[in-house]
Structure 1
Amino acid sequence: MASPRPISATTATDVLVLGGGPAAVWAALAAAKAGVRVVLADKGYCGTSGATAAANTHVWDLPAGQDRDGEVERRLTRATGLAERDWLVRVMEQATRGLDDLAGSGFPFPVQGDGAQYRGQLRGPDYMSFMRRRILLAGVTILDHHPGLELLSADGVVAGAICLNVRSGQLHCIKAGAVVIATGGCTFLSRALGCDGNTGDGYLMGVEAGARLSAMEFSGQYGISPSHSSVTKGMPYGFATLTLEDGQPLPINSEKDRFEAIASAMISGHTVYARLDRATDEEQIWLRKGQPNCFLPFDRIGINPFTQRFSITLRSEGTVRGVGGLLLDTEDCATTAPGLYAAGDAASRERIVGSSSGGGRPNAAWAIASGSWSGGGAARFARSLGNSIDDRQASPLGHAGLRPQQRTAADDFSREATQAVREEILPLDMGFYRDGMRIATSLKRLNLLWDDIKNHLTAQGPRLIRAREAAAMTATARWIWTSTLHRPESRGLNRRTDHPALNRELTRSIILSEVDTPRVRAGDLKIQGVAA
């Protein structure tokens, strides 16, 4: 199958990492430490792109002991039977080793009053710029503004990728012994801070290569945001009084119901307001120092959020702070497609969070752990190929958005398709609260949209990435709704208004495969022989 455009550059490497966030840089570092050639290709500028670079993030720093045991039990309780103790412990152990490695490399962790480092929170900009320098020093070649468009295959084994050089509009073929997909999840361009580059690209590339997905139904994660801002950090709202237009308190039964109360009020046509008036003077100082990006939008428009109320909204965080992603088949994060590995939000986190959000500590620890494991696994796989990597004859695997099967659509079809899929997945009464009949109707519309994309969508030059993003978001939405229909219950982030109770007989994973006609099976994700 020919490329949709002429290839302007070709590079050969042992391991190719697609992505530029925390999981990607940990994968690149692990592969480089294994002594192989490594190329990292990022959609943006590695070190500044992605959700972590735009904010602070908490992370599990839990050496063996009571704190770790307690956190494992809390997570298992929230996971509704879908997480696995061994994987939780493995991730916590690997995250602690990663933080030790950061400290040993000179990362400037803050120092507490007793002189000990505080490693439970990472300031995103500092963390990512530090990791960029580390992988460059380790010999990794970084290709900024080179989003992956499609994977390559040689005799059924993933053999690299074709990337788009956004600045030149030319295609870059990167042959590789193994590929790590660390391209993040999908928020459907919801404007959640740092997430508009997360459009499900890695899911589409992976499934085209034969990988599977799991837990895509656990995607109804929305973050609280000021109406005038894209910041969705939730911590400050633990100090908030929430009210409706007339000043009456928003009815909230528990912390768990806070998001549901906001969503219900907004669906009913209300505007919800917040004021962070429950924070003491000392806590206000602490919040501003710890979460400075949360307060910059208020300062810009002259609002004191501690004394003045402001309107809020809910922005979809989809599978970035949700759960679903590429199914991992082995301990070293290999997918079901030979030669393909996955890490971070591009991979399913069902084994560590079950049906609940992985936002914050679990996801940050997962990025360190899965990045390290996938990079090491990819390096071992590449080495097993010997000297044949550079000479393998590889074929591209991408279809929708790249190679239309019929006549080409108008230039604005990418924008129209993107808006159409957003309308099917982002509204609160579709994505937050779900109804089987509405989802089935939505899926029919998305299937028709997919046919149009497959038959007609492509683009020229830099606009090719927008066509591929539209295809990836549409495919992701179809997988989410297909998975949702196969889980007729309310469990974690899958809130079904037509099935409001949890059904214990459905305590199993929903696994998806294939692009054009998604196939579903229920399965047990446990990998035999995983040791804590």
Structure 2
Amino acid sequence: MQELSTDVLVVGGGPAATWAALDAARAGADVVLADKGYCGTSGATAAGGTGVWYVEPEPAAREAAMASREALGGYLADRRWMGRVLDRTYANINELAETRGYPFPTGPDGRQLRNGLQGPEYMRRMRIRVKRAGVRVLDHSPVTELLRAADGSVAGAAGHRRQEGHDYLFRAGAVVLATGGCAFLSKALGTDTDTGDGALFAAELGAELSGMEFSNAYGIAPEHTSVTKTAFYSFATFYRENGEELEGAASQGGRSVIARELLTGKVYARLDRADPAARAAMRLAQPNFFLTFDRLGIDPFTERFAVTLIAEGTVRGTGGIRIVGDDCRTTVPGLFAAGDAATREEICGGFTGGGSHNAAWAMSSGSWAGRGAAGYALALGAGAARRSVSAAGGAGLRPLGARDVDAREVIRAVQGEVLPYEKNYLRHGEVLTGALAVLDETWTRLRSGLHGTGRDAVVARQAAALTANARWMYRSALARTESRGMARRLDFPGQDAAQHHRIASGGLDEVWTRPLTAVAA
């Protein structure tokens, strides 16, 4: 066991984590970043390109940007937070361009197009920036649990260094969870590190979650591939197996149409609505989208190809750890959350739609959480490293009974309830109740008998996190007896004005939900 100390520990390695580490260091804190993978290459952003919610500070443009998603999100977003994120994103993107030389492409008028980032280049530069700021980066060092101080505040974390083969423990004055969302190991590109670990760690300290019903996001991908760049399918015509056009599949609610058709047959697409200018722009914006087609010798603009839907859970959804302050603090003292690990309801309500808003939220919330964590830790002073601490982790680490449960069996059981379209996407109360019965029984079994040490502890904790996230997700979905944002119910297809509020959730052995204060109309 390697024991160390720091002011701020950042857990994660994507954009939210790197911005948090960078701004915590710039605020004068000693910072450690611990990533499950290799910081700069792990996570959904590093695997591809992403749009960014970057809007010039012109009143009409800002008003249009904020209004554009309010209805889609069920009017659960907060205009003040939207404005803060637009301001912070504008500043961070301009910093990347003007002082860090990020190579944004230029438009016909010669001006840089700053509303998109190429993930590999973006994250390569963020890793360099973090290390130059003096942050200690622990690659391949997944955190497995948080540490609790005697007063209930967070006091650090413990984990395992895969390549060095030993466990570690970091005492810290504050912790930022930027571990990403939960995609349930669906194989969507770049999401295998996104297993909801941060939400489990936070809940074990008593933190709350919010918006977990907004988690049934599915991305369109060519069959047998993992690239879910759904925005390009706005240029597509969809077809049944017999060649008949699939009506409604290209509309705003088209994925429901596709999901129903996939239950009985195949669905095909062709990007035949893109004109030559759009085709060129698409290849420039998302080159990895076309790699599969090029390797298979398919021209997606002229030839039909089979498509599928891949679950992306809270990565493309909006649910996550509840934040209770402008600095992205949680309900646990000293614990902060950023990026997809945190709820994005503040700017998206119940619907995100993909990278643009999530990318802006990642860099903005990362900056705020890093600064907030630094201020909290520095106020504690050197005494933080000498606090008496206890381990907070339970499921997968400290079983209550015989150690006879296999993590892989747990993962398969959870995936059987959350990946099928007919359970998670086409939601119905009776189906959700049946799925929850399986998930609750799975949790009871793993809590009693799942155990791992060293490298095996990482897998065991991922299995526990998947189960916990699924239970919060479906319990929240049952609590919202209406259709709002992406949380749609076949048995409650309408929107209920009496449910114009967010839903908090939490708990482990006993999962609970409760309505939060109604959002101002």
User: TM-score per shorter chain, which class?
Assistant: over 0.9
Greater shift, 248-257 or 147-156, is seen at 248-257
Residue 253 of structure 1 and its aligned partner are, at CA, apart by 7.2
Q: Is the 8 A contact 2:500 2:518 kept in 1?
A: no
2:71 aligns with 77
1:406 aligns with 401
Matching of residue 99 in structure 1 with residue 90 in structure 2:
no
From 148, 154, 160, the equivalent of 1:164 is: 160
* 1:493-504 equivalent positions in 2, closer than 5 A: 493-504=486-497
From 204, 214, 220, the equivalent of 2:216 is: 220
What do the CA deviations read for 1:190-212 (whole angstroms, capped 9, x no partner)? Answer: 11100111011000000101110
* 1:3-18 equivalent positions in 2, closer than 5 A: 8-18=1-11
Matching of residue 251 in structure 1 with residue 247 in structure 2:
yes
Task: Report the Cα distance in structure 2 between the residues aligned to 1:184 and 1:403, rounded to whole angstroms.
Answer: 24
Q: Secondary structure at 2:245's aligned position in 1?
A: coil
1:454 aligns with 447
1:530 aligns with none
Q: Is the 8 A contact 1:76 1:84 kept in 2?
A: no
Q: Is the 8 A contact 1:157 1:337 kept in 2?
A: yes
* 1:256-405 equivalent positions in 2, closer than 5 A: 256-267=252-263, 269-405=264-400
Aligned amino acid, residue 350 of structure 1: E
Runs of 4+ in 1 over 3 A off after TM superposition: none
Residue 74 of structure 1 and its aligned partner are, at CA, apart by 1.5
What value does the CA root-mean-square deviation take over the aligned residues? 1.4
2:514 aligns with 521
1:198 aligns with 194
Residue 169 of structure 1 and its aligned partner are, at CA, apart by 3.5
Q: Is the 8 A contact 2:51 2:116 kept in 1?
A: yes
* 1:39-54 equivalent positions in 2, closer than 5 A: 39-54=32-47
Aligned amino acid, residue 328 of structure 1: I
Aligned amino acid, residue 146 of structure 2: L
Unpaired runs of 5+ in structure 2? Answer: none
Q: Secondary structure at 1:76's aligned position in 2?
A: coil
Matching of residue 421 in structure 1 with residue 399 in structure 2:
no
Q: Secondary structure at 1:161's aligned position in 2?
A: strand
Residue 259 of structure 1 and its aligned partner are, at CA, apart by 1.1
Equivalent pairs: percent with the same residue?
Answer: 48
Aligned amino acid, residue 68 of structure 1: R
What do the CA deviations read for 1:240-289 (whole angstroms, capped 9, x no partner)? Answer: 1110101000011762121111112112x120001122223333232222
Task: Report the Cα distance in structure 1 between the residues aligned to 2:485 and 2:74, rounded to whole angstroms.
Answer: 7
Give the TM-score normalised by structure 2.
0.97
What do the CA deviations read for 1:345-374 (whole angstroms, capped 9, x no partner)? Answer: 000011111111252211111011100000
Q: Is the 8 A contact 2:233 2:250 kept in 1?
A: no
Greater shift, 507-516 or 103-112, is seen at 103-112
What do the CA deviations read for 1:353-412 (whole angstroms, capped 9, x no partner)? Answer: 1111252211111011100000000000001111102211211100001111111115xx
Q: Secondary structure at 1:53's aligned position in 2?
A: coil
Task: Report the Cα distance in structure 1 between the residues aligned to 2:68 and 2:272, rounded to whole angstroms.
Answer: 29
Task: Report the Cα distance in structure 2 between the residues aligned to 1:424 and 1:314, rounded to whole angstroms.
Answer: 16
Task: Report the Cα distance in structure 1 between the residues aligned to 2:253 and 2:175, rounded to whole angstroms.
Answer: 41
Q: Is the 8 A contact 1:325 1:347 kept in 2?
A: yes
Q: Is the 8 A contact 1:221 1:357 kept in 2?
A: no
Residue 419 of structure 1 and its aligned partner are, at CA, apart by 0.4
Q: Secondary structure at 2:413's aligned position in 1?
A: helix
From 424, 433, 456, the equivalent of 1:431 is: 424
2:108 aligns with 113
From 222, 228, 233, the equivalent of 2:229 is: 233
Q: Is the 8 A contact 2:249 2:258 kept in 1?
A: no
Task: Report the Cα distance in structure 1 between the residues aligned to 2:430 and 2:102, rounded to whole angstroms.
Answer: 52
Q: Secondary structure at 1:348's aligned position in 2?
A: coil
Q: How many pairs are equivalent? A: 517
C-alpha distance 194-279 of structure 1, shift in aligned 2 (>3 A): same
Residue 526 of structure 1 and its aligned partner are, at CA, apart by 6.8
Aligned amino acid, residue 191 of structure 1: K
Task: Report the Cα distance in structure 2 between the residues aligned to 1:157 and 1:508, rounded to whole angstroms.
Answer: 28
Residue 106 of structure 1 and its aligned partner are, at CA, apart by 2.1
From 503, 510, 518, the equivalent of 1:510 is: 503
Q: Secondary structure at 1:388's aligned position in 2?
A: helix
Matching of residue 60 in structure 1 with residue 53 in structure 2:
yes
Residue 182 of structure 1 and its aligned partner are, at CA, apart by 0.2
